[in-house]
Amino acid sequence: MTRSFGHLKNAVCLSLFIGFTALISPVVSLGQDKEPVSISLGNLIQDNTVYYSSGSRHYSSSYTVPQGKRLVIEQVFLEIDVPAGVKAQGSIKVATTTSWGGYGRYYPLQLINQGTDPFGATVFSTSQLMKLYVSNSATSGNTVKVSFLVHTSSTAGCTGEVHISGYLEPAP
Q: What is the pLDDT of residues 97-131, one digit of tens each?
A: 888 888 889 999 999 999 999 999 999 999 999 99
Task: Decide if 161 contacts 81 (C-beta within 8 A).
Answer: no
Q: Please, where are the H alpha helices in the chain?
A: 6-24
**Tally of domains in the chain:** 1
Say how many Å lie between the first and final Cα of the chain, rounded: 71
pTM passes above 0.75: no
104 within domain boundaries: yes
Q: List Cβ neighbours of 153 (8 Å cut-off, separation of 6 or more).
A: 55, 56, 86, 87, 88
pLDDT tens track, the chain, 172 positions? 444 444 444 444 434 434 433 444 344 445 568 899 998 888 888 776 555 555 677 788 889 999 999 999 999 999 999 988 888 888 998 988 888 888 889 999 999 999 999 999 999 999 999 999 999 988 888 889 998 888 888 777 788 889 999 999 999 8
94 within domain boundaries: yes
Q: Give me the torsion for CA of 48, 51, 53, 55, rounded to 10°.
A: -10
22 within domain boundaries: no
16 within domain boundaries: no
130 within domain boundaries: yes
In sign, the C-alpha dihedral spanning 117, 119, 120, 125 is: negative
11 within domain boundaries: no
6 within domain boundaries: no
Range of the domain at 162: 30-170
pLDDT digits (tens, 9 = 90+) for 141-151: 888 999 888 88
Q: Interior CA angle at 127 toward 67 and 142, to 5°?
A: 15
